[in-house]
A = this chain, B = another copy of it.
Amino acid sequence: MNNPDRVAEATRLRVQAVIDRLDFVPNRPAADLRSGRSRMVALVVPDIANPFFAEVARGAVAAAAEQGYVVVLCSSDGDPAKEDGYLELLDEQRVAGVLINPVGNAPGRLSRMRDHGTSVVFVDRAARASEFCSVAVDDVRGGELAAELLLRRGARELVLINGPLALRQCADRRKGARRGIERLGLPSSTLVEFRTLSMTIQPGVEAAERMLKEIPHPRSVFCTNDLLAIGVTRWLAKAGVSVPEQVEVVGYDDIEIAAEAPIPLTSIRQPKYELGRTAAELLVRDIEEGPAHRHQRVVFQPHLVERDSTMDATPDVTSAHPGRQVGVPTPA
């Protein structure tokens, strides 16, 4: 049945007939038990409904499917206890591997699972290459891209609307903005930062209000995510400041509504799908190469999507609604 070509045609047909008649469905867990192999892997993320992870999941599922693997989706709700519960479950289920964006200090359990023979790949989080494979996106470079775009016309200040620095993304994107400023030979005082407690629309509105009190005529604002940016543009509109003529605004993440906002938003896009694909490919390699496998770190480059919230850098090209992509994703 599993090697249809190694069997006489007549027998094959006879078997097939019986399969159809009895409506036979093979018992996969039994097969896996016997063969000691499984083609099931898991993706564990804080929130599968988050567009970022949803797209990562698509990529991972597609790549896994190509290699004959299936992916089960686990959403830990950002709760370390739930995450650990899922990992325990997956361990018991004897999945062949796990793709994970850990929220808790999962490494302990993950190390044990790996010692059991379960492959592990970190997603959107760099891991020590000696321990696990990992795929991530270069957030520092993303911040740099935003800063370079905003400062290209000679603005003397760059406002950064940022979330909690405890989030690696926020810290990295700020570092990138700083680096961009440095590269252009501007003083570090060019960067003026306003911090929010959470990264949603309303805090963005409030941050913009604070900003205008301190800096009545900002030229350029970099928000470390799109929701903040939408909040900022909303307040600017209310205050009668026109975007992009008076202020240019750049967001981050390129979520779906960035293109659909009242003023379509220039943003930094992360290669989410590719992130998922690559993670799954690494995982399958890890699984199939066994102990011989050498872990590796892959870092993707983000790229700029220019829309109406910034002015055309190259006025001879029409800014299309879906956004022109500048730069190319580069696995490193």
Chain A residues at the B interface, C-beta cutoff of 8 Å = 23, 25-30, 32-33, 48-49, 51, 54, 57-58, 61, 70, 72-75, 77, 88-89, 91-94, 112, 115-116, 200-202, 234, 257, 260, 262
Contacts and interface: CB of A to CB of B under 8 A. Distances in A.
A202 B92 CA distance: 48
Contacts of A49: 48-49, 51, 54, 57
A32 B32 CA distance: 13
Looking at A61, A88, A257, A260, which has the most chain B CB atoms within 10 Å of its CB?
Answer: A260
A25 B92 contact: yes
B116 A25 contact: yes
B33 A30 contact: yes
A94 to B, nearest CB: 6
Q: Which 9 A-B pairs have the closest CB atoms?
A: A49-B54, A29-B29, A73-B73, A28-B92, A72-B72, A201-B260, A25-B91, A30-B33, A28-B93
A48 B29 CA distance: 26
Nearest to A62: B77
A138 to B, nearest CB: 25
A44 to B, nearest CB: 11
Q: Which residue among A29, A58, A77, A115 has the maximum number of chain B CB atoms within 10 Å of its CB?
A: A29
A299 to B, nearest CB: 25
A48 B73 contact: yes
A58 B72 CA distance: 15
Contact of A70 (B75, B89, B262): B89
B23 A116 contact: yes
Nearest to A85: B65
Nearest to A48: B48
Given A89-B70, A262-B234, A29 B23 contact: no
Nearest to A73: B73
A201 B258 CA distance: 12
B112 A23 contact: yes
A73 to B, nearest CB: 4
B26 A29 contact: no
Nearest to A52: B49
B29 A57 contact: no
A112 B92 CA distance: 29
Contacts of A70: 89
Contacts of A89: 28, 70
A94 B54 contact: no
A40 to B, nearest CB: 8
Nearest to A55: B49
Nearest to A88: B25
Contact of A33 (B29, B73, B75): B29
A74 B65 CA distance: 13
21 contacts: A23-B112, A23-B116, A25-B91, A25-B92, A28-B92, A28-B94, A29-B32, A29-B33, A29-B93, A48-B48, A48-B54, A48-B73, A49-B49, A49-B54, A49-B57, A61-B75, A72-B72, A73-B74, A201-B260, A234-B262, A257-B257
Contacts of A32: 29
Contacts of A75: 57, 61, 73
